[in-house]
Amino acid sequence: MTTAAPPRKIPGLGMLRETGKLFALGLDVARGFFQRPFQLREFIQQAWFIANVSILPTILVSVPFGAVIALHLGTLTRQLGAESFTGAVSVLAVVQQAAPVVTALIVAGAGGSAICADIGSRTIRDEIDAMEVLGVSAVQRLIVPRVLAAMLVAVLLNGVVSVVGVLGGYFFNIILGGGTPGAYLASFTLLAQLPDLWISTIKALIFGFIAGVVASYRGLNPSGGPKGVGDAVNQSVVITFLLLFFVNFILTAVYLQVVPPPGS
Amino acid sequence: MGAEVVIEGLSKSFGSQPIWRDVSLSLPPGEVSVMLGPSGTGKSVFLKSMIGLLKPDTGTCVVNGTDIVRCSEHKLYETRKLFGVLFQDGALFGSMNLYDNVAFPLREHTKKSEAEIKRIVMEKLAMTGLSGAEDKLPGEISGGMRKRAGLARALVLDPEIILCDEPDSGLDPVRTAYLSQLLIDLNAQIDATILIVTHNINVARTVPDNLGMLFRKELVMFGPREVLLTSDEPVVEQFLNGRRLGPIGMSEEKDSATMAAEQANVEAGHHDGGTEDVRGVVPQIQPTPGLPERQGERRRKDRVMQILHTLSPEAQEGIIESLSPEEQQHYGVRPHQLVGAGQHAGGGAAGSTMPLPSEHHGELPAEDVANRPGDRAAESDSGRHTDAQWWSNQ
């Protein structure tokens, strides 16, 4: 027999391959950050665009989010008799967990899906190929500015969510919940510390990167035809969400190990 | 002069499905080649493999000494600047107008001033008949215009190799003819190596110097146009005549039972789908009068005459008949000589008024080769002119 046996199908191999390609693109993009020329125009346009589509939803989400945490904590701390800690826990929860996750969800949902659809339609129209053939790296020219834009907007929105979330918590806790403003504000620094703000920012940065890279990856590899682009957009959002919570878990676990809680 | 592309043993498969196997050919520098093939035989994949957009499984594709398949990323981007590629739908950047599209490669790769860019872009747009449309977005123009704009963009960097993916698809016959003429004129002007992938019979018959055909996952043939145009290989013959009768079916292949049934039908008087019998060598499109002579055509004549004895009698006949009487004398060949008809058609009479060139072996000096009579008169006393000089003297 001269014909070679058909390669055996190993379950999960396809998924592994996709994951590998995703990481490869992530590395390419990371390397692209340091390569010149930097596409400043594209970067500003994209940052403006992503900020535009995500700022309103972010604020609208972060107000009730902060409120839910505040209300929950309000009743919980009252039961435990630790009302003075409400502000501390609320700020910790909002800044460290809620803000980066909410930001990333919005950046992925609003910005990432747009990036994916844009890149995807360019791919099926051969625009990406055409660009590559003209000797211009599509990763350098299109993807890097978009990922950087997603990261920048994620960090900035993270700040917005933190502030709006804390304000929302304050409003619901003090005005509606009948708490004492002094105790609420004074306890801010009781549990929370500066590294919390850092980890929050770093998380937002990493989540923005993930959202940008996943959206670009799915956009560069749509599975055939215009329908493929629709599927790719859908998948990019879902994949980003999954990765987001997983990475959040890892980062939080590492943070809790590395940074000692205040007072210890 | 255009770059030479040498492809050896190239194979590509998607998963376990082979697209084509062991394709070896070389695109001679400065010549126009056409790759034919029924739909779905991987012509576009072949083109994309040539420029490193897809990675072939095995084989090499050497351009200017660089193996596209295995070279570093940096080298690949450098080599790609030699290429101008026309994609099926033009592949214009949807967010830019035509002017910016055509200016894009210049802005990315050169440090030219905006004024200079404008001059080049306007020139290329005029060349492709798009003057006045530079402010339009790709979404606002017809498919034919998109295609021409794509060609203009492929040309701004003065490529040494031009690849065209189905330049005729979606174009009417008149525009296709114009595009064919444009490609030939381009070849005459910048002497680029051109590869056209198509399934248009007319383009295949009139445009190229060399023809190739992909079918059944392999390269059936690649060689001088006369060889394929006179070939009695069933696939090639069927395809060039656009008939149903033959090995190509609606799906890629057909079985012998279907073939026999169709044969029986045709013998019983059922039409076979071909509009006319178009076998044989037809004259090639020439550059528009006033343009310089195609350098590639000259070189090709030398090359083909060297391998003439290896070709089939029909192909030899076709090649010899396509030469002018003077050229027939230069190369020492006569029409119908090979089939033994013994006619001395035309050549003798014209030859008697012209001085015979001295005998040469191997490659002839440039001034002795493939000149039209007009050229020869202009050049006879002053020896070797470049074509540009000759042209400007006119």
- Identify the domain boundary among B221, B254, B278: B221
- Kindly determine whether residue B91 and residue A7, on different chains, have CB atoms separated by under 8 Å: no
Who has greater pLDDT, B102 or A173?
B102
For residue B353, the model assigns a pLDDT of 40
Residues near B135 by beta carbon (within 8 Å), at least 6 away in sequence:
B97, B98, B99
Asked, for residue A217, whether it belongs to a domain, the answer is yes
- Of all residues in chain B, the percent with pLDDT exceeding 90 is 3
Query: Nearest-CA distance from B82 to chain A in Å?
Result: 9
Model confidence at B35: pLDDT above 70 = yes
Task: Give pLDDT tens digits for B233-282.
Answer: 777 878 877 777 777 777 666 777 777 777 777 777 777 766 556 667 77
Model confidence at A185, in pLDDT bands (50, 70, 90)? Answer: confident
Q: Which residues of B lie inside 8 Å of A (Cβ-Cβ)?
A: 16, 48, 51, 53, 77-78, 80-81, 83, 85, 87-89, 91-94, 104-105, 108-109, 150, 153, 157
CA distances from B325 to B50, B116, B275, B349 (A): 39, 46, 33, 9
Model confidence at B210: pLDDT above 80 = yes
Asked, for residue B310, whether it belongs to a domain, the answer is no
**Predicted TM-score of the model (pTM):** 0.76
Q: What are the beta bridge partners of residue B23?
A: B10
Asked, for residue B242, whether it belongs to a domain, the answer is no
Model confidence at A181, in pLDDT bands (50, 70, 90)? Answer: confident
Model confidence at B358: pLDDT above 60 = no
Asked, for residue A28, whether it belongs to a domain, the answer is no
| Residue (of B131, B130, B196) closest to B168 by Cα position | B196
Task: Give pLDDT tens digits for A216-263.
Answer: 999 998 887 778 888 889 889 999 999 999 999 999 899 888 887 766
Who has greater pLDDT, A123 or A6?
A123
Model confidence at B387: pLDDT above 80 = no
Tell me how crowded residue B169 is: count the other CB atoms within 10 A of its CB. Answer: 14
Question: CATH number, domain at B59?
Answer: 3.40.50.300
Asked if residue B208 lies in contact with residue B247, where contact means CB atoms within 8 angstroms, the answer is no
Task: Give pLDDT tens digits for A80-110.
Answer: 877 777 778 888 888 888 888 888 889 888 8
> Which DSSP category does B248 fall into?
B
Model confidence at B315, in pLDDT bands (50, 70, 90)? Answer: confident
Model confidence at A65: pLDDT above 70 = yes
- Identify the domain boundary among B221, B250, B283: B221
Both tokens of residue B299?
């070189």
Asked, for residue A66, whether it belongs to a domain, the answer is yes
Who has greater pLDDT, A140 or B310?
A140
| Residue (of B72, B67, B70, B58) closest to B23 by Cα position | B58
Asked, for residue A79, whether it belongs to a domain, the answer is yes
Task: Give pLDDT tens digits for B118-144.
Answer: 999 998 888 888 888 888 898 888 888
**Which residues of A are less than 8 Å from B85 in CB distance?**
130, 133
Mean pLDDT, residues B337-341: 49
Asked, for residue A25, whether it belongs to a domain, the answer is no
Both tokens of residue B335?
């029409």
Asked, for residue A207, whether it belongs to a domain, the answer is yes
Tell me how crowded residue B384 is: count the other CB atoms within 10 A of its CB. Answer: 9
* Lowest mean pLDDT across A9-18, B25-34, B82-91: A9-18
Asked, for residue B371, whether it belongs to a domain, the answer is yes
Domain assignment of residue B370, given as a range: 323-393
**Which residues of A are less than 8 Å from B53 in CB distance?**
129, 132-133
The Cβ-side half-sphere exposure at B58, using a 13 Å CA radius, reads 8
Asked if residue A65 lies in contact with residue A98, where contact means CB atoms within 8 angstroms, the answer is yes
For residue B188, the model assigns a pLDDT of 87
For residue B321, the model assigns a pLDDT of 77
- Minimal Cα distance from B53: which residue of A? A129
Mean pLDDT, residues B289-311: 79
Tell me how crowded residue B150 is: count the other CB atoms within 10 A of its CB. Answer: 28
B19 & B157 share domain: yes
Who has greater pLDDT, B249 or B391?
B249
Rounded CA gap, B143 and B148, in Å? 9
Overall residue count recorded for chain A in this entry: 264
For residue A208, the model assigns a pLDDT of 92
Report the domain count for chain A. Answer: 1
For residue B376, the model assigns a pLDDT of 45
Report the domain count for chain B. Answer: 2
**Which residues of B are less than 8 Å from A13 in CB distance?**
none
Asked, for residue B22, whether it belongs to a domain, the answer is yes
Rounded CA gap, A99 and A66, in Å? 9
Asked, for residue B21, whether it belongs to a domain, the answer is yes
Q: What are the beta bridge partners of residue B215?
A: B218
Model confidence at B351, in pLDDT bands (50, 70, 90)? Answer: very low
Model confidence at A264, in pLDDT bands (50, 70, 90)? Answer: low
- Minimal Cα distance from A127: which residue of B? B91
- Identify the domain boundary among B221, B253, B277: B221
φ and ψ at B23, to 5 degrees?
-85, 120
**Which residues of B are less than 8 Å from A131 in CB distance?**
93
Who has greater pLDDT, B224 or B382?
B224
- Kindly determine whether residue B53 and residue A133, on different chains, have CB atoms separated by under 8 Å: yes
Asked if residue A115 lies in contact with residue A209, where contact means CB atoms within 8 angstroms, the answer is no
Mean pLDDT, residues A120-128: 88
Both tokens of residue A244?
């987001």
Asked, for residue B293, whether it belongs to a domain, the answer is no
Asked, for residue A241, whether it belongs to a domain, the answer is yes
For residue A156, the model assigns a pLDDT of 92
For residue B344, the model assigns a pLDDT of 41
Using a CB cutoff of 8 Å and minimum separation of 24, what contacts does B61-70 make? Answer: B61/B5, B61/B6, B61/B7, B61/B8, B61/B10, B62/B5, B62/B6, B62/B7, B62/B8, B63/B3, B63/B4, B63/B5, B63/B161, B64/B3, B64/B4, B64/B160, B69/B10
Tell me how crowded residue B365 is: count the other CB atoms within 10 A of its CB. Answer: 10
For residue A119, the model assigns a pLDDT of 92
Mean pLDDT, residues B178-187: 86
Asked, for residue A42, whether it belongs to a domain, the answer is no
Hey, is the C-beta of A24 within 8 angstroms of any chain B C-beta?
no
Q: Average pLDDT, whole number, for chain A? A: 85
For residue B183, the model assigns a pLDDT of 87
Both tokens of residue B300?
């090709």
For residue B252, the model assigns a pLDDT of 61
Who has greater pLDDT, B393 or A187?
A187
φ and ψ at B288, to 5 degrees?
-55, 135
Domain assignment of residue A64, given as a range: 54-258
Model confidence at A38, in pLDDT bands (50, 70, 90)? Answer: confident
The H or E element that residue B210 is part of is: strand B210-215
